Structures are given as C-alpha cells and as structure tokens.
Amino acid sequence: MLNAMTRSRVTQAWFAAVTLIIVASLALGASVTVRTGALLLALSLVPPVIVFMLWPRPQPRTTAEMLYPPDHRG
C-alpha cells in the first residue's frame, strides 16, 4: 500500500487532515486570532515541504547503462 504512495498523494492527505482538524476545532468553538492562524498555516506547510524534499528520487542512469542498455543483447 505504501509503495504506491506518491509525493502528491501524501501532500494531499496531509492537507486534508489539517483541514479537517481546523474545521473541527472551529466547530467546537476555538477562537482563531491572526497569530494562531499564522501558526496553523506554518505548521500545516512545513511537513509537506520536508516530505517533498526528502522523498527518494529516481536514480540517474550510470555510464554503463547509457553505453549498454539493460535490454541490449549482443
């Protein structure tokens, strides 16, 4: 299941979870000031940026793979 996760899917799930938490807290009567809103915004943006930067990227092709492709016979 986790092998099929992409960076964009993880980011979407994070923003959905943050949105649900904010809506639930507002529905339960939490007061939101400018400072609280700025803190919530920062806390909701930092983790996706970290995940995006640390997510493994495809490895570049080596010189041997460029000279002799894996599907090359001969």
- How many domains does one find in the chain? 1
pLDDT digits 0-9 by tens, 9-67: 888 888 898 889 888 888 998 888 889 888 888 888 888 888 778 877 777 888 888 88
In a domain, 61, yes or no: no
- Which residues form the domain of 51? 2-55
Q: Under a CB-based contact definition with an 8 Å cutoff, are residues 11 and 51 in contact?
A: yes
pTM for the predicted model, two decimal places:
0.58
Residue 72 lies inside a defined structural domain of this protein: no
Domain membership of residue 26 (yes or no) is: yes
H helices present in 28-73, as ranges: 34-54, 63-67
The two three-digit tokens of residue 48, written as one number:
């996706």
